Amino acid sequence: MLYREAGQFKSTYAQDSQIFPLLQDRVAMVALLLVAFIVVPLVGDQYWLSAIITPFLVLSLAALGLNILTGYAGQLSLGTAAFMAIGAFMAYNAVLRIPGIPILAAFAIGGLCAAAVGLVFGLPSLRIKGLYLAVATLACQFFVLWAINRIGWLSNHSSSGVITAQSMAIFGFAIATPAAKYLLTLFVVVFMALAAKNLMRSETGRAFMAVRDMDVAASVIGIPMMKTKLLAFAISSFYCGVAGALYAYCYLGTVEPEAFTLDLSFRVLFMIIIGGVGSILGSFLGAAFITLFPIFLSVGSKWIETLLGIEMSHAVVSNTEAIIFGSLIILFLIVEPLGLARLWQVAKEKLRLWPFPH
Amino acid sequence: MNRKLAVISAALGFALSGTAIAQNEQFVPANFYWVGPYAPGGSGFGGGIIDYMAMINERDGGVNGVKLTWEKCETEYNNARGVECYERVKKHPPTGATVIHPLSTGITYSLIEKATADKIPVISMGYGRTSAADGRVFPYVFPLITTYWSQATVLIKFIGQKAGGMDKLKGKKIAFVYHDSAYGKEPIPVLTDMAKQYGYELIPLAVPHPGNEQQAQWLQIRQAKPDNVILWGWGVMNPTALKAAAKIGYPRDKIIGAWWSGAEEDVLPAGSAAKGYISAGFNAPGSEFAVMKDIKKFVYDKGKGEFEDKARFGSIYHTRGVVAGIVTIEAIRLAQGKFGKGKPITGEQMRWGIEHLNIDDKRLKELGATGLMPTIKVSCMDHEGSGLVKFQQWDGAKWKVITDWMEPDRKLVREKVESDAAQYAKEKGIQPRDCSKEAL
């Protein structure tokens, strides 16, 4: 009844091509952003801010990066964690070696270095597709970690290979508290998500989708294959690189190359599969599911234990979490192969008709 | 429906009242791991520390009447989960997390800054950042008993002894097979320095995580024919290495393991391939120590205890956890003595307690832990407190201790610790504490 477009007329092209054509959506989005920027830092306690919401945002950005490449441009990649590692380590080196560099510039350098490596490892995509391309990006994953482990310069010759993020400040304002780190992450993520959304609605984005749907047809209608595919790799790697820098600076504080193993690449891939391939919203929903759900399961199992007054062996609880999580993923994929974003879309369509389904 | 509601509200009331009486309690988080490739270490160590606390509660009614409580959190040996667990428990009532045992070098690194800011001490017993032994730069981090660098010097000393003197090391080849992570790479600078000093050739061979694929490395060992192999592995990597060594016919008694390569779980899966293998350790296995008997009497005989598989009782990881328990409880006792007996202490007070820890032979005897662990004396300068290491050999059925406590090369280790800590202090803009001005 409330969610209806009746009476909302569009009289200009600009109105017609808005991201959120419905007034209700715009209001909801502004409210959400207000909550995220003002209410959350005020009411969120340290645990929520630094252990739940910040990692969720960082991984959303990584998932968004992968979604640009895999979801929009159709190039399967298993190198996400490697690009994140490049972002983290190069941002660290930028702060270390360029005195007085603003932190956001360091993040951007991290992202650009990741984009450069992404370009190189994107080259095989001009010849190979699908699973074979995934294997080529797998090489990137292993090569990058190997290089970070072996080249001492990258970790400033730290004996254990672990780097510690330097302290951050923007315009003299120190970013040290969880709330400040959260706000910085949120700002970067919102800005980059908006950029991605607009990019995907532009000519470039449409070229990506044309390549994804059928690359031969796309090249026939005059879309330059090399430029489009490499651009997709570069943009995607840039996003992942910035996510990696945020992971190091705003979340963990220290990173070792082992934080960016293939395991993380797969997790990000699962995020977009569960959230929705080829959807900006899907990246966020998927990241929320994959990062938050295990934590809720582990907290929830404690509530169940106290509530029922039984004591379960912790090993059983830990393993049950893994089993439940795995089964839910399978269930989701069977019930809704297009991901959570599609469920959201269906819900919205139903809501438009509610309460009169016909 | 009504009955259901009543049951739920009763249960809820019970749960609430459970937290309401949490006044005279000391909370020690149990952030370990019970799943994944490193679960034997996590569950064994965690089981040991929890068993010891349960025993103290049962036998003594807590520390001066303050009951010990704990809560388990699964870290999966994963930095991100470890940080989440830390954030979850750090404000736990009544006085927050007393001390954290991360049981992962990676998680320790992630917590150094966070815990220092939150004033919660981190004990990384036998792992973690070696240079944290310099307490002036790392006030809240305690790599207690012994560090990787100390262990590396003792390993070389042990090999030298076996060869008949340190001068015999000249021209020898020593292969270093290590877990390719922060943990495995930590000792390389010390081993390289010692190679220059004693004239042996070091052949570093990295094994990628998790380490169940080692054919290439052992092929290189077969070609290079080193006089000794140092195995610096973790989890599934250890039995795999021993099996691979058996396959190429490398004598097992020439392989010397680090202390995270020397538990029952590391050799049993290798079967007969493990016989004769030697490893380091800073705690002895066994269920005959008085403290272990107490744990059996007050915890296991009452049907409690962490292990369903009773065969793990008294295993290396279990007693190592008990040692961690002893260190923790002794520090709590000490802090209570200064800040008020019979009252829960805060993390800041706990830090004082750990820094003034002094467990000598007499105290070890009182604790019933003679031979189980070395003596410890921690100070503001020295957060390691001991550095002593023992060696043990697997005879096919159990670990047999084959040496007494061995001294590390303190001069070499301390020099490197101080220079590394100074570099960290410079990078982070930390003003090192002046230890002579610390309150006693």
Angle separating helix axes A80-97 and A54-66, nearest 10 degrees = 120
CATH number of the domain at B24-148+285-390+418-437, please?
3.40.50.2300
Q: Measuring CA to CA, how many Å separate A319 from each of A280, A316, A324, B39, B103?
A: 32, 5, 9, 11, 20
Inter-chain CB proximity B185 and A159 less than 8 Å = yes
Nearest-angstrom CA–CA distance, A234 and A125 = 12
Radius of gyration of chain A (CA): 21
Label residue A1 by pLDDT band (50, 70, 90): low
Q: Which long-range contacts (CB under 8 A, 24 or more apart) does A30-38 make?
A: A33/A190, A36/A186, A36/A190, A37/A183, A37/A186
Is the CB of residue A215 less than 8 Å away from at least one CB of chain B?
A: no
Which CATH number covers residue A65? 1.10.3470
For the record, the structure tokens of A2 come out as 């409330």
User: Looking at the complex, does the CB of residue A296 fall below 8 Å from at least one CB of chain B?
Assistant: no
Cis amide leading into A294 (omega within 30): no
Over residues A166-206, the pLDDT tens digits come to 888 888 888 888 999 999 999 999 999 999 999 999 999 99
Q: How far apart are CA B115 and CA B108, in angstroms?
A: 10
Answer for the pair A229, A126: CB distance below 8 angstroms, yes or no. Answer: yes
What's the whole-number mean pLDDT along residues B420-425? 90
B79/A160 CB distance under 8 A: no
Q: How far A103 CA sits from the closest chain B CA (Å)? A: 16
DSSP state of A125: G
Contacts of A47 in chain B (CB under 8 A): 87-88, 90-91
Of A164, A252, A306, which has the smallest distance from its Cβ to B80's Cβ?
A252
From chain B, the residues in CB contact with A258 under 8 A are 106, 181-182, 209
Give the integer Cα–Cα distance in Å for B128 and B106: 7
**CB atoms B308 and A166 under 8 Å:** no
| Calpha distance A63→A206 (Å, rounded) | 20
Cα(A342)–Cα(B414) distance, integer angstroms: 60
Q: How many CB pairs under 8 A join A and B?
A: 107
Which residues of B75-215 form beta strands (DSSP E)?
122-123, 141-142, 173-179, 201-207
How far, in Å, are A20, A26, A175 from residue A33 at the CA level? Answer: 14, 11, 21
First CA to last CA distance, chain B: 63
- What is d(CA B310, CA B305) in angstroms, rounded to the nearest whole number? 9
**Burial per residue of B378-394, b for 16 or more beta-carbon CB atoms within 10 angstroms, e otherwise:** bebbbbbbbbbbbbbbb
A160 to B74: CB separation less than 8 angstroms, yes or no? no
Q: Do B73 and A161 touch (CB under 8 A)?
A: no
Q: Which residue has the higher pLDDT, B389 or A300?
A: B389
Confirm whether A84 is domain-assigned.
Answer: yes
CB atoms within 10 A of CB A38: 11
User: Please, are residues B141 and B132 in contact by the beta-carbon 8 Å criterion?
Assistant: yes
CA-CA distance, A122 to A212, in Å (whole number)?
A: 15
Average pLDDT, chain A: 90
Give the pLDDT of residue B14.
44
Nearest-Cα distance to chain A for B242, in Å, is: 24
Select the CATH number that applies to the domain covering B153-281+393-408 from these four: 3.40.50.2300, 3.40.50.10190, 1.20.120.80, 1.10.3720.10.
Answer: 3.40.50.2300
Would an 8 Å CB–CB cutoff place A177 in contact with chain B?
no
pLDDT tens digit string along B253-283? Answer: 999 999 999 999 999 999 999 999 999 999 9
| Distance (Å) of CA B258 to CA A55, A311, B151, B210, B397 | 34, 36, 8, 17, 19
A3 falls in which pLDDT band (50, 70, 90)? confident
Please, what is the average pLDDT of chain B? 90
Task: Kindly report the number of other CB atoms within 10 A of residue B232's CB atom.
Answer: 30
Helices assigned H by DSSP within B119-276: 148-163, 182-185, 188-198, 215-224, 237-248, 264-267
At a CB cut-off of 8 Å and minimum separation 6, what does A140 contact? A79, A82, A117, A121
Contact B375, B364 (CB under 8 A): yes
For residues B298 and A351, the model is more confident at: B298
Q: What is the DSSP string of B367-426?
A: HT-BTTB--EE--SSBSS----BEEEEE-SSSEEE-S--B---HHHHHHHHHHHHHHHHH
- Whether residue B80 and residue A251 make contact (CB cut-off 8 A), yes or no, is yes
Confidence check: pLDDT of A127 > 70: yes
Q: Residue B420: CB partners within 8 Å, gap ≥ 6?
A: A159, B130, B131
> Which chain A residues contact residue B420 at CB under 8 A?
159
Closest chain A residue to B308, measured at CA: A313
Q: Is A7 inside a domain boundary?
A: no
pLDDT tens for each residue of B189-237: 999 999 999 999 999 999 988 888 899 999 999 999 999 999 999 988 9
Residue B1 has pLDDT above 50, yes or no: no
Q: Are strands A163-164 and A254-255 parallel, antiparallel or unpaired?
A: antiparallel
Nearest-Cα distance to chain B for A192, in Å, is 23
State the Cα–Cα distance between residues B84 and B80, nearest whole angstrom.
6
SS3 assignment, position B97: coil
Q: Which residue, A66, A59, A36, A88, is CA-closest to A291?
A: A59
CA atoms within 13 A on the CB side of A217: 8
Q: From chain B, pick out residues whose CB is under 8 angstroms from the CB of A58.
A: none
Residue A117 φ then ψ, to 5°: -65, -40
Scanning chain A, the segments in alpha helix (DSSP H) are: 13-16, 23-34, 40-43, 46-47, 54-66, 80-97, 103-122, 130-150, 178-201, 203-213, 215-220, 225-246, 262-275, 280-308, 314-335, 340-353
pLDDT over 90 at B310, yes or no: no
Instruction: State the residue for tokens 């000792």.
Output: B187
Question: DSSP string spanning A306-337?
Answer: HHHT----HHHHHHHHHHHHHHHHHHHHHH-T
- Listed by start position, the domains of chain B span 24-148+285-390+418-437, 153-281+393-408
Does the distance separating the beta carbons of A307 and B181 come in below 8 Å?
Answer: no
* Nearest C-alpha neighbor of A150 from the set A89, A201, A237, A67: A89
Q: Is the confidence at residue B69, as pLDDT, over 50?
A: yes
| Number of domain units in chain A | 1
pLDDT of residue B3 exceeding 60: no
pTM reported for the whole predicted model? 0.88
Rounded CA-CA distance B175/B199 in Å is: 14
Of the CA atoms within 13 Å of residue A89, those in its CB half-sphere come to: 28
- To the nearest whole Å, the CA of A220 is away from the closest chain B CA by 45
% pLDDT > 90, chain A = 54
Chain A residues 140-159 with a CB less than 8 Å from chain B: 149, 159
Q: In this predicted model, which residue has the larger pLDDT, B160 or B23?
A: B160
A191 has a chain B CB within 8 A of its CB: no
Per-residue confidence (pLDDT) for residue A112, from 0 to 100: 97
Instruction: Please report which confidence band the pLDDT of residue B248 belongs to, taking 50, 70 and 90 as the band edges.
Output: very high
pLDDT surpasses 50 at B15: no
> A320 and chain B: CB distance < 8 Å anywhere?
no
Position A267 in a domain: yes
Q: What is the pLDDT of residue B38?
A: 87
**What pLDDT, on the 0 to 100 scale, is given for residue A54?**
94
Q: Does residue B90 have a pLDDT over 70?
A: yes
Which has the closest alpha carbon to A321: B237, B81, B44, B169? B81
Torsion angle in degrees (nearest 10) through CA of B194, B195, B196, B200? 140
- Evaluate if residue A162 carries a pLDDT over 70: yes
- Identify which of A52, A307, A314 has the shortest CB distance to residue B34: A314
Average pLDDT of the residues in B235-247 = 93
Q: Higher-confidence residue: B96 or A2? A: B96
N-to-C CA span, chain A: 13
DSSP A65-95: HHIIIIIIS----S-HHHHHHHHHHHHHHHH
C-alpha distance from A311 to closest chain B C-alpha (Å):
11
pLDDT of residue B439: 58
In this predicted structure, what is the pLDDT of residue B205? 94
* Interface probe with A: pick from B180, B418, B427, most Cβ of A within 10 Å: B180
pLDDT of B19 strictly over 50: no
ipTM of this complex: 0.85
Prior bond of B251 cis (ω within 30°): no
Give which of B317, B309, B249, B252 is closest to B283, Cα–Cα: B317
Q: State the number of CA atoms in the 13 A half-sphere of B354 facing the CB.
A: 34
Quick one: pLDDT band at residue A71, thresholds 50, 70, 90?
very high
Q: Which of B19, B33, B34 to mutate to test the interface with A (most CBs of A within 10 A)?
A: B34
Ranking A280-289, B10-19, B361-370, B378-387 by mean pLDDT, the lowest is B10-19
Which of A96, A149, A159 should we substitute to test contact with B (largest number of B Cβ atoms within 10 Å)? A159
Residue-level pLDDT at A337: 83
Residues of B in contact with A179 (CB under 8 A): none
Residue at B296: amino acid letter: K
Lowest mean pLDDT segment, chosen from A102-116, B4-18, B365-379: B4-18
B323-327: average pLDDT:
96
Any chain B CB within 8 A of the CB of A313?
yes
Residue B16's pLDDT is what? 43
Return the pLDDT at A169: 87
Residues of A in contact with B189 (CB under 8 A): 159
The mean pLDDT value for B138-152 works out to 93
Least confident range from A102-116, A161-175, B48-62: namely: A161-175
A80-107 average pLDDT score: 94
The pLDDT > 70 percentage for chain A reads: 99
Q: Which domain holds residue A328?
A: 43-353
In tens, the pLDDT along B170-186 reads 999 999 999 988 888 88
What whole-number distance in Å separates Cα of residue A326 and Cα of residue A320? 10
Mean pLDDT, to the nearest integer, of B398-424?
92
Work out the minimum CA distance from A167 to partner chain B, whole angstroms. Answer: 8
**For chain B, what percent of residues have pLDDT higher than 90?**
72
Of residues B244 and A321, the one with the higher pLDDT is B244
CA-to-CA separations, B86 to A253, B31, B110, B113, B324, in angstroms, rounded: 14, 8, 10, 12, 18
Nearest CA in chain A to B74: A318
Nearest to B148 by CA among B100, B188, B104: B188
